[in-house]
Amino acid sequence: MNTELLLHEVTYKATRSSGPGGQHVNKTSTRVELYWNLEESQAVNETERALLRTALENRINREGQLILSASRTRSQLKNKREVTDKFIKLLERKVQPPIIRKKTRTPASVKRKRLKDKRFASEKKANRQRPEF
């Protein structure tokens, strides 16, 4: 995955943000939205594209675009940096193939201990009953 090429394929759009800022919020566009088209990207190869398609299927819209936004700060520049970092980290994390879990068995000693504890609890409760004469 070529990060330089990825950043050239990205488009940004500034919109009005909710959150801190008072009257300043009503007149400035500080929220930054990042748009990236997965299908038209030259920065990822076919295997990475397939991994990203499955990993990001809930985040990609019908046009095939991934949309991320940042509006934490009052500064448009800081929000742009934040959304760019979020984008790069997201792609780096999702490009890695998932780790296949190795199935493990419950050790026999753990099963024996569980049954022993169960038997002990049962005997303890049985001893609480009144003795028969």
Query: What is the per-residue pLDDT across 22-36, written as a single tens digit (0 to 9) for each?
Result: 677 677 888 999 999
pLDDT given for residue 131 in this prediction: 79
Give the span between the Cα atoms of 6 and 1, in whole angstroms.
8
Percent with pLDDT over 70 in the chain:
96
Give the span between the Cα atoms of 61 and 82, in whole angstroms.
21
Q: Which of 48, 56, 60 is nearest to 95 (CA)?
A: 48
Return the DSSP state at 51.
H
Q: Given a cut of 90, is residue 132 above it in pLDDT?
A: no
Give the span between the Cα atoms of 31 and 111, in whole angstroms.
56
Give the span between the Cα atoms of 96 and 51, in whole angstroms.
8
Give the span between the Cα atoms of 112 and 66, in whole angstroms.
52
Domains, the chain: 3-95 (3.30.160.20)
Q: Which residue has the tokens 């299908």?
A: 39
